[in-house]
Amino acid sequence: MRTFVKSWIPQCLQILRSPCKSFHGYNRLLTSQIISHYDSINQCKKELPEYFNFASDVLDEWSQLEKDGRKPANPAFWWVNEEGEEVKWSFEELGFLSRKAANVLSEACGLQRGDRVIAVLPRVPEWWLLNVACMRTGVVLIPGTSQLTAKDILYRLQASKAKCIITSDTLAPAVESVVPDSQFLKSKLIVGKGSRDGWLNLKELVAMASADHKCVQTRSQDPMLIYFTSGTTGFPKMVVQSHSSYGIGFATSGRHWMNLTPSDIMWNTSDTGWVKAAWGSLFAPWICGSCVFVHHMPQFKPAVIAETLSRYPITTFCTAPTAYRMLVQHDLSR
């Protein structure tokens, strides 16, 4: 179980400083009609709509509010790494880039609505882009942790009948070793700076792709995501999540558990292969119009966590209990 902490707790730990207050100001926006609408569906006050798509019905709505000046100046997505690189997207930019990525999936990869794609990526911006692109195309995304072995990847490719796999330079060799036994696999996308024989480069294709894309109309109960269980007592099993189960379901979590508003910046440290990344790093914050903050750390480092909380105006922080213990034990004077 992970723990959510609003900014006053990190302040008690002497991690956050005054710049955070000047960034957010002292007047927090009231919860918008968007989150209220979907929260009322979860409370059975309104009927579940027959059609729902998180990209068009939520993200594009926030983009429009952003254009109209009815949303705080927070970015939708804020990514940093230890090398000092930084990526910031507004909701409008997220929409623009995800439409280009959607065209890559449909055209370069030849994927159609209902097809399945496996994404095994670390905390890189493309993971979030692909999530939204899959929603726009009706393609079912299957996230996987970077800890997967070649055997794990082969099992998931065969069980899911995925037609495409997207991964990094690091795991590309493992994928290549099992391609001969993956009869359903049609295309491979790599997220990296260089090229690799037999692979399509996602960044290059997105750069060239058209941003003209019409989001498909998906039913609320259509499949959107598939996660494999841990396989503790047997082979991992596929668990299907619909467009509404996550896209609408986590409105309640974002509003009542995380207490998020459009002026918040949410940092969840979960790996992209686990369902917690979908909950805390995508659906709950974005349905509330909050900013998703990501620090791409290959390993958990208390000093980096503390410095990041001090440097950036993060208002809501989520991590594992073990990580909190490491933070408490960390010597802040060093």
Question: Is there a domain that residue 211 lies in?
Answer: yes
Question: Is there a domain that residue 104 lies in?
Answer: yes
SS3 266: strand
Question: Is there a domain that residue 270 lies in?
Answer: yes
Of 14-23, 30-39, 170-179, 316-325, the range with the highest mean pLDDT is 170-179
At residue 20's C-alpha, the angle toward residues 19 and 22, to 5°, is 65
Question: Is there a domain that residue 291 lies in?
Answer: yes
CATH of residue 65: 3.40.50.12780
**Sheet (strand 238-242) strand order:** 200-201, 187-191, 164-168, 116-120, 140-144, 223-228, 238-242
| Token duo for residue 260 | 């998020």
For residues 124 and 281, what is the distance between their CA atoms, to the nearest angstrom? 12
> In sequence order, which residues have a C-beta less than 8 Å from that of residue 286 and are 6 or more positions away?
54, 58, 59, 62, 76, 292
At residue 231's C-alpha, the angle toward residues 298 and 171, to 5°, is 35
> Which residue intervals of 104-215 are DSSP H helices?
125-137, 150-160, 172-178, 202-208
Pairwise pLDDT comparison (135 vs 7), residue with the higher score: 135
Q: How confident is the model at residue 331 (pLDDT cuts 50, 70, 90)?
A: confident
Question: Is there a domain that residue 108 lies in?
Answer: yes
Question: Is there a domain that residue 209 lies in?
Answer: yes
Q: What is the pLDDT of residue 233?
A: 85
Domain total of the chain: 1
Q: What is the pLDDT of residue 334?
A: 65
Given a cut of 70, is residue 27 above it in pLDDT? no
Q: What is the pLDDT of residue 299?
A: 83
Q: What is the pLDDT of residue 71?
A: 86
Among the residue ranges 6-15, 44-53, 79-88, 92-101, the one predicted with the least confidence is 6-15
Q: What is the pLDDT of residue 232?
A: 83
Question: Is there a domain that residue 334 lies in?
Answer: no
Closest CA to 203 of 104, 333, 314: 104
Quick: pLDDT tens for 281-327.
999 999 999 999 999 988 888 889 999 999 999 999 999 899 889 88
Max intra-chain CA distance, the chain: 58
Per the structure, the complete domain to which residue 266 belongs is given by 3-329
Question: Is there a domain that residue 136 lies in?
Answer: yes
Q: How confident is the model at residue 19 (pLDDT cuts 50, 70, 90)?
A: very low
